[in-house]
């Protein structure tokens, strides 16, 4: 089974809803833009039955350059984390 891409999602929407490819594409683009905008403001995004994205601050930490073994300081940064909803977790667990 291959990777589901944005164009694959759009195709599934077209097939399952009868929407035009243009409308499905605009809907997905808008959906993604809303999520990106919220995360850029460090606001969590939660979709019931699916999961939650949160922005987390990571402080500076010590690391090592794997090529030279030289110690370096990894700069602080913001990262996005995703946690599954219990509904999706149960669905995935039961399929194994």
| Distance (Å) of CA 25 to CA 22, 31, 50 | 5, 10, 21
DSSP string, the chain: -----HHHHHHHHHHHH---HHHHHHHHHHHHHHHHHHHHTT--EEETTTEEEEEEEE--EEEE-TTT--EEEEPPEEEEEEEE-HHHHHHHHHH-
In this prediction, residue 2 carries a pLDDT of: 86
Local confidence pLDDT in tens for the 96 residues of the chain? 689 999 999 999 999 999 999 999 999 999 999 999 999 999 999 999 999 999 999 999 999 999 999 999 999 999 999 999 999 999 999 865
Cβ neighbour number for residue 85 with a 10 Å cutoff: 15
Residues forming CATH 4.10.520.10 domain(s) in the chain: 42-96
CATH of 42-96, one of 1.20.58.1610, 3.30.565.10, 3.40.50.2300, 4.10.520.10: 4.10.520.10
pTM as predicted? 0.77
């Amino acid at each position: 089974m291959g990777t589901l891409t944005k164009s694959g999602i759009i195709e599934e929407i077209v097939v399952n809803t009868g929407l035009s490819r243009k409308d499905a594409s605009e809907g997905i683009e808008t959906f993604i833009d809303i999520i990106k905008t919220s995360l850029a403001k460090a606001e969590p995004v939660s979709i019931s039955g699916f999961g939650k994205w949160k922005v987390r601050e990571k402080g500076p930490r010590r690391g090592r350059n794997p090529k030279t073994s030289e110690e370096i300081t990894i700069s602080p940064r913001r990262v996005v984390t995703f946690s599954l909803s219990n509904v999706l977790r149960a669905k995935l667990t039961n399929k194994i």
